[in-house]
Amino acid sequence: MFSGVERTIDLPITEEQLAAWEGGTLIQEAMPQLSADEREFVMTGVTAEEWEKEFGSDEEDQIHERKGRLGNV
Q: Give the residue-averaged pLDDT of 26-35.
A: 98
What is the Cα–Cα distance from 61 to 36, expressed in whole angstroms? 17
**8 A C-beta contact, residue 38 and residue 59:** no
CA-nearest of 59, 9, 62 to 31 is: 9
Which residues, 6+ apart, have CB-to-CB distance to 30 below 8 Å?
Answer: 17, 18, 20, 21
Q: Which of the two residues, 62 and 4, has the higher pLDDT score? A: 4
Q: Tell me the per-residue pLDDT of 52-67, one tens digit each, with 9 for 90 and over.
A: 888 887 665 555 555 6
